[in-house]
Amino acid sequence: MGDGTGLDLRDRRASFAALEAETFDLLVIGAGITGCGVARDAAMRGLRVALIDANDVGAGTSSRSSKLIHGGLRYLAQGQVGVVREAANERRALRRIAPHLARTNPMVLLAKSKKGIAALRAALWSYEKLGHVDAHEHHEAWDAGRLAAEEPCVVSEGFAGAVVYPEYLTDDSRLTLANARSAAGHGAVVVTYAAAEELILEDGRARGAVVRGALPGEAEGARINARIVVNAAGPWVDSVRRLEDRGAADRLQLTKGIHVVFRRARIPIGRTIIMNAQDGRSVFAVPREGFVYLGTTDTFYPRPEYWPEITGEDVDYLTDAAARVLDGGPFRRDEIVAVWSGLRPLLAAEGKKPSEISRRDEVMEGPGGVLSIAGGKLTSYRSMAERLVDQCEKELGRKPKPPPTAEEPLPGGDLAGAFEELHSRVQAHGLTPHEAERVARLYGSEALDLFAEGTLPAAEAAHAVLLEGALTLEDYWVRRSARSQFDEEGGLAALEPAAKRMGELLRWSPERRASEIEACRARRASEMRAVSEP
Ligand SMILES: Cc1cc2nc3c(=O)[nH]c(=O)nc-3n(C[C@H](O)[C@H](O)[C@H](O)COP(=O)(O)OP(=O)(O)OC[C@H]3O[C@@H](n4cnc5c(N)ncnc54)[C@H](O)[C@@H]3O)c2cc1C
């Protein structure tokens, strides 16, 4: 069970009391991948850490990404050699600490001519050399015949072949959760549904924050004292910056990206296909168990929101891109199984198009000393956290000593490389290969624990509450079980049994249980509206 950590957040009074019981070295505002990575790193160094979120762990951008762990090929074209090395290194680290959340995902780069194939190969050779990519993960080149045999779904005209190289596919919200659990296992106090409403300033220096409970009917909150405050609020970074400095100008520019999910039977690809959209941007078709998702778009969005609006135009952009490259189009809106959208918290760059804005990360120090961190990628969260906590240690008068975050397994990650064996043991419980893949990938070494009691949704819901800090049905449905994105009908059938089990553990009244179910149904209806409207 990874580093042996369960996260049970049911006792709210105890949670708020723990936040008030001491002066922390670090208060981290925001439990996305950035904040959870920082909290884990700092806690592993022995710092006292409080990690809070206004919503659930991973409820912001960190559950809305394309879920790819990029080795850094795209940075090569921009000449960013250091970033290529870092991304390739991070990919290896993730495979070590969470093999279940780093599945090999071959990418098919299509080429229109033999010259095109040669150019792609040259780029990949440099990338493999610079990134010290292991020999067994080197690319291969396919001619048109091999492409047709391996990926018959790709349209036969127009491509001379392809170059195929492996990236990794993860589950973003579970990776984020695993980091939060690990942080808690190393002593961090983690509290969700606790929004920072005010910063505590002493002689102009930030010394903590006042948080308010955000669950239905909750009145309590806490006053948290800390030596250093880290603002890892993703798309809300500017709002938190303004708690410190009311007049602070925006530093972020948000861009929205959506994904649409089809059944794999409808788009029967074996690997991720990289497609050129109408405007020349790259768009992916990514297979995951019985589904394929298309993503993503990149358009400016005016304000931070948990559920950025999806338009019919967004959806058509992706289905049109797919129809240009894949047989079987047009891909109709009424065939879409699920959809999601998220906001990239990018550092503003005047005059650039959304897709041209750099994904670099930056730490900004406010007038009261709050360290705000924004930009970056899921892929590089661990090294980004390490750099930030080095800076914090220096401010605390300590010599920075990075902990073994790239070596110690995350919860669920102590598989000793035997993923296939886990998969067959899970399948032996009467699951289809796709269902077994889902469970083994999401839960890693904890997967077999789910077969001890009741139905799978009920067992997953209990696991979510007792070990994974879930407090609402949406926490289970969207971010713990991934059913809202990768299940028939958005996993609505799992809501009743899951709510029943969660209700027992969280002492929900019948009304509360009904309202939890209704909230998830309403969420799905609103997400699917853009898909169904003409
Ligand atoms: C469409 C899309 C596709 C992407 N694809 C990839 C990809 O394939 N690979 C990759 O590496 N990266 C990808 N990214 C980038 C990656 O997802 C983000 O860089 C990353 O998730 C940002 O995480 P974060 O922790 O900074 O922000 P978030 O995950 O948004 O976390 C911020 C948290 O702060 C909390 N918060 C806000 N205000 C407060 C407050 N006042 N008090 C307490 N808490 C607060 C929020 O509730 C939220 O949980 C993608 C991004 C998008 C949008």
Q: Tell me the pTM.
A: 0.97
Structure confidence by residue, pLDDT tens digits, 459-479: 999 999 999 999 999 999 999
Rounded CA gap, 444 and 416, in Å? 11
How far does the centroid of ligand 1 lie from the alpha carbon of residue 93, in Å? 20
Phi, psi at 481, each rounded to 5°: -100, -10
Number of neighbours of residue 41 by Cβ within 10 angstroms: 30
Residue nearest to atom 18 of ligand 1 (CA): 377
Least confident of 162-171, 302-311, 349-358: 349-358
In sequence order, what are the beta bridge partners of 228?
26
Across all residues in the chain, what is the average pLDDT?
95
Least confident of 23-37, 100-114, 172-186, 520-534: 520-534
**pLDDT (0 to 100) of residue 361:** 86
Answer whether residue 3 shows pLDDT above 60: no
Q: How confident is the model at residue 352 (pLDDT cuts 50, 70, 90)?
A: confident
Q: Which helix (H) or strand (E) holds 143?
A: strand 140-143
Say if CB 52 and CB 19 are below 8 A apart. Answer: yes
**pLDDT (0 to 100) of residue 26:** 98
192 lines ligand 1 (CB under 6 A): no
* Mean pLDDT, residues 280-297 taken together: 97
Rounded CA gap, 330 and 337, in Å? 16
241 lines ligand 1 (CB under 6 A): no
Rounded CA gap, 160 and 156, in Å? 9
Residue nearest to atom 51 of ligand 1 (CA): 65
- Tokens 């409970």 belong to 213
443 CB-near residues (< 8 Å, 6+ apart): 100, 412, 449, 450, 463
Residue 58 in 3-state DSSP? coil
Long-range CB contacts (< 8 A, 24+ apart) of 208-217? 208/23, 208/24, 208/27, 209/27, 209/29, 209/52, 209/243, 211/19, 211/52, 213/12, 213/16, 214/54, 214/55, 215/12, 215/471, 215/472, 216/512, 216/515
* Mean pLDDT, residues 262-284 taken together: 96
By DSSP bridging, strand 103-111 and strand 291-295 are unpaired
**pLDDT (0 to 100) of residue 5:** 75
341 lines ligand 1 (CB under 6 A): no
> In this prediction, what percent of the chain has a pLDDT beyond 90?
87
Ligand 1 atom closest to 257 (CA):
1
Rounded CA gap, 27 and 209, in Å? 8
Answer whether residue 373 shows pLDDT above 70: yes
Structure confidence by residue, pLDDT tens digits, 391-413: 999 999 999 999 999 999 999 99
* Mean pLDDT, residues 450-462 taken together: 93
Angle, helices 495-506 vs 510-532, to 10°: value is: 140
> In this prediction, what percent of the chain has a pLDDT beyond 70?
99
Q: How confident is the model at residue 149 (pLDDT cuts 50, 70, 90)?
A: very high
How far does the centroid of ligand 1 lie from the alpha carbon of residue 281, in Å? 22
234 lines ligand 1 (CB under 6 A): yes
Structure confidence by residue, pLDDT tens digits, 214-223: 999 898 899 9
Q: How confident is the model at residue 357 (pLDDT cuts 50, 70, 90)?
A: confident
Q: How confident is the model at residue 417 (pLDDT cuts 50, 70, 90)?
A: low
* Mean pLDDT, residues 332-342 taken together: 97
* Mean pLDDT, residues 95-118 taken together: 95
Helices (H), 245-358: 312-325
How far does the centroid of ligand 1 lie from the alpha carbon of residue 345, in Å? 7
**pLDDT (0 to 100) of residue 2:** 38
Give the amino acid at 185: G
**pLDDT (0 to 100) of residue 1:** 35
Answer whether residue 482 shows pLDDT above 60: yes
* Mean pLDDT, residues 259-272 taken together: 98
228 lines ligand 1 (CB under 6 A): no
**pLDDT (0 to 100) of residue 533:** 76
Residue nearest to atom 4 of ligand 1 (CA): 65
37 lines ligand 1 (CB under 6 A): no
Structure confidence by residue, pLDDT tens digits, 420-442: 899 999 999 999 999 999 999 99
DSSP 18: H
Q: How confident is the model at residue 375 (pLDDT cuts 50, 70, 90)?
A: confident
**pLDDT (0 to 100) of residue 244:** 96
* Mean pLDDT, residues 266-283 taken together: 95
Answer whether residue 4 shows pLDDT above 70: no
* Mean pLDDT, residues 330-355 taken together: 93
65 lines ligand 1 (CB under 6 A): yes
How far does the centroid of ligand 1 lie from the alpha carbon of residue 117, in Å? 35
Residue nearest to atom 48 of ligand 1 (CA): 60
Helices (H), 371-509: 381-395, 419-427, 433-443, 456-468, 473-474, 495-506
Rounded CA gap, 506 and 504, in Å? 6
